Amino acid sequence: MSEITQVSLGGMGQSVRRKEDIRFIQGKGNYIEDIYLPNMLYGCFVRSPFAHAKINGINSAEALKVPGVVAVLTAKELAAHNLAWMPTLAGDTQAVLAGEKAVFQGQEVAYVIAENQYAAADGAEMVEVDYEELAPVVDPHQAMDKNAPLIRDDKKDQKNNHIFTWEAGDKAATDALFKNADVVISQKTEFQRVHPAPMETCGCVVNHNKITGQTDIYLTSQAPHAHRTVFALVAGLAEHKTRVIAPDIGGGFGNKVPVYPGYVLTAAASIVLGRPVKWIETRTENLQSTGFARDYHTQAELAATKDGKILAMRVNTLADHGAFNAQANPTKWPAGLYSICTGSYTMDNAYVKVDAVYTNKAPGGVAYRCSFRVTEAAYVIERAVDQLATKLKMDPAALREKNFIKSSQFPYKTVTGWEYDSGDYHKTMKLALDKIGYAELRKEQAEKRKKGELMGIGISFFTEIVGAGPRKQFDILGLSMNDGAEIRVHPTGSATVRLGVKSQGQGHETTFGQIVAEELGIPVEKITVEEGDTDTAPYGLGTYGSRSTPVAGGATALAARKVREKAKKIAAHLLEVSEQDVEWKNYKFQVKGVPGKVKTMAECAFAAYTNAPDGQEAGLEATFYYDPPNFTFPYGAYICVVDIDNKSGQFKIRRFLAVDDCGTIINPMVVEGQIHGGLTEGFAIATMQEIRYDAEGNNLNGSFMDYLLPTAVETPHWETDKTITPSPHHPIGAKGVGESPNVGSPQAIVNSVVDALSHLGVTNIDMPVTPWKIWQILKEKGVAE
């Protein structure tokens, strides 16, 4: 028998080509827009042009005269079915359609259903809405003012625009450390409102069968099971007769976690009319009404000794949540995992406070390619550490190294309560500094400065917290954040793996197959990974927060081990020895000490259906629900080198190096692809993206003309490298990587630009860092004209 090797299997650590790409690169994906059902209707929204306006009346008469228009739904009709309001993931209520008043520009006001998209759009044009404009609240600071207009007068007990205050750490102890510290820095930063802007916008097709009561929902969903449960709770649908199918998803990045009014209305329309109904957003609708990200306005302080030992951190953040508190966070964690903001450093104490407010803007606050406010946290600490280095006149790399948690200190309990699983920060940092040639770059910078040339080096050393989460503390609307995996090994030795998570481009069909290949010795090409259909997949909370590998990856490995245990009994039976005499070696079962006496998994699988041992259940399959004992903590050292034109403020990223440690790597090529993608998104956030509103609450970035996506032309060349420090508690030691590059990169870029200008007294530039902003500074400092 030929040898089975990791390479021949396509097991762990192999750069197996992505199976899904065969259909994607040929345009054969199956997205919501590809789904056409016979007799299908189409929905289109009438949306509020105003940020804050009383609705005095809606006249649908003219719209109903448009040929092809079947029905027009308003809040009045929904109220009759108790559907006018829906719960949000954050436990607030959100208007499905605006009733008494509209609270953000782009809010859903009426829903027109017609025989085709064109009739639906024409009908929507003809709906007359009598708006009476009200004063909008746009600035989150203004929202806190006691004289600010009350946005949520629909809520009986809501007397102002404040949503919650959330605290972590020890305030008194932290204040005491600050009082006695040699050095204190204070930094005001804004992490601007951005939008995940996935390539595919949000949409659905709902098909309700009035005779059987079955409802099929094709949905752009990062969490099909969780969404089905929400449908059951909100719309009273019977869960066993509701099938949520997430087909191919064209990018999610957190934008496809919330439940949107479009889903609810499309389902309601199909149920009422008994016909399939499709709804899909335009790009503008996606940008102006669905889940935005960030919008954290922060005052951060660090206390340190004069020789650069960090003593304490104090953070006060104002969070703009928009008109409904519809952010996506674990229910008991209103500011997510933001208290990870102590970063990669030891300190004696910390205090973190977040106040969230309503404003007349689109609702959201989703984890855009990050794990629940971790990007905001990493930004705050890594910007603050740089400012501390400037104040202490210390090298920012040396200051970081001085304060790093040491490898011997892991597992490390932070002052805000997290237990970091593993790390060797000094090693990763050293690799990055050596590889970029840090010392040489600093010399070059000093020489350039003498000549009046501007060059900056920015460092970000981030620690992520991913894989929500241990069910004792982490749930969404009560649903434990655990995930299932089911493995069926078929008689001829191939296998089907079904998961509760859902790829939106991450490559699950390949990487989860590799985990099973490694555990069971079945070649990856003989393994099909299925996700996204609640009729077949085991329950799970979905893919976001880099949780697929940490949670579902654990479930997959442990389900595979259950299969292997059962197969071992069969192998013993086939080898005619006792189970104790069989060992799993070189991806086969072998009689201990007798290398020639082996049975492969394929042979065991065939026997499971043809020749199972007496007294043993036939078949070879297993299901496992994994409850992670802790989060995983990927980290990385990112270094950005920037050159700035001192006359125009134009800047160019000369080099960007990302050294990541995400524990055990399943597929190096997929990891590198994830890092490239995340860095490109981080670069876009740092230098070009912002969802802005004017004083009247008009959204000024409602198209890709105004909300920029980087193309190959703008995007810098990415250099990557890695260290590997496995997670000690994860079944395969993997930590998750998809979001690290987005979490780690923005501050590396901002730090590099600030570093280039630090000798001019510049300590902060808020994102997006544009040539315009830099030029303004250069002009103010007398460098440029």
Partner 1 sequence: MKVTLKNSFTINEPIARVWQFLSDPHKVAPCMPGAQILEQVDEKTFKGAMKMKLGPFSSQFEGEVVIEHMDGAAHEIRMVGKGKDPKGSGNATMTIFGSLKTLPDGGTEMTSQSDLVISGKIAQFGSRMIEDVSKTMFNKFTESFSAHLAAESTGQNVAHANEADAVSVTEVAGVVVKGMVRRMFKKDSE
Binding site for partner 1 (CB under 8 A): 46, 49-51, 105, 125, 127-129, 131, 133, 288, 694-700, 702-703, 705-706, 772, 785
Nearer to partner 1, 296 or 775 (CB): 775
d(CA 135, CA 150): 10
DSSP 8-state symbol, 548: I
Could you tell me which of 34, 462, 552 has the C-alpha nearest to residue 249?
A: 34
DSSP 8-state symbol, 663: B
d(CA 228, CA 231): 5
Sign of CA dihedral 544, 548, 550, 551: positive
Q: Where are the beta strands (DSSP E) in 224-276?
A: 242-245
d(CA 256, CA 202): 7
Identify the active-site residue in 370, 604, 640, 662. Answer: 370
| Alpha-carbon torsion, ordered 627, 628, 629, 632, to 10 deg | -170
Nearer to partner 1, 301 or 690 (CB): 690
d(CA 386, CA 457): 11
Nearer to partner 1, 260 or 775 (CB): 775
Nearer to partner 1, 3 or 785 (CB): 785
Q: Which residues of 733-770 are buried (b: 16+ CB within 10 A; e: fewer)?
A: bbbbbbbbbbbbbbbbbbbbbbbbbbeeebbebebbbb
Residue 187 CB, shortest distance to partner 1, in Å, is 25
Residue 409 CB, shortest distance to partner 1, in Å, is 49
265 — phi, psi (to 5°)? -70, -40
Residue 529 CB, shortest distance to partner 1, in Å, is 42
Nearer to partner 1, 194 or 559 (CB): 194
Maximum Cα interatomic distance, the chain, rounded to a whole number of Å: 89
d(CA 638, CA 642): 13
Identify the active-site residue in 107, 222, 327, 506. Answer: 222
Q: Is 222 known to be catalytic?
A: yes
Could you tell me which of 37, 33, 43 has the C-alpha nearest to residue 266?
A: 43
Nearer to partner 1, 50 or 420 (CB): 50
The two three-digit tokens of residue 482, written as one number: 């655990």
Q: Is 369 known to be catalytic?
A: yes
Report cis status (omega within 30 of 0) of the bond before 411. yes
646 — phi, psi (to 5°)? -75, -5
Under 8 Å between Cβ of 46 and 54: no
Residue 160 CB, shortest distance to partner 1, in Å, is 24
Task: Quote the crossing angle between the two packed helices 601-610 and 554-575, to the nearest 10°.
Answer: 70
Residue 699 CB, shortest distance to partner 1, in Å, is 6
The two three-digit tokens of residue 678, written as one number: 């995340």
Identify the active-site residue in 152, 243, 314, 369. Answer: 369
Identify the active-site residue in 44, 243, 739, 747. Answer: 739
Residue 277 CB, shortest distance to partner 1, in Å, is 24
Nearer to partner 1, 5 or 703 (CB): 703
Q: Is 561 known to be catalytic?
A: no
Contacts of 256 (CB under 8 A, 6+ apart): 198, 202, 220, 221, 222, 249, 504
Gyration radius (Cα) of the chain, Å: 28
Residue 279 CB, shortest distance to partner 1, in Å, is 20
Residue 706 CB, shortest distance to partner 1, in Å, is 7
Q: Is 107 known to be catalytic?
A: no
Catalytic residue positions, numbered = 222, 369-370, 739
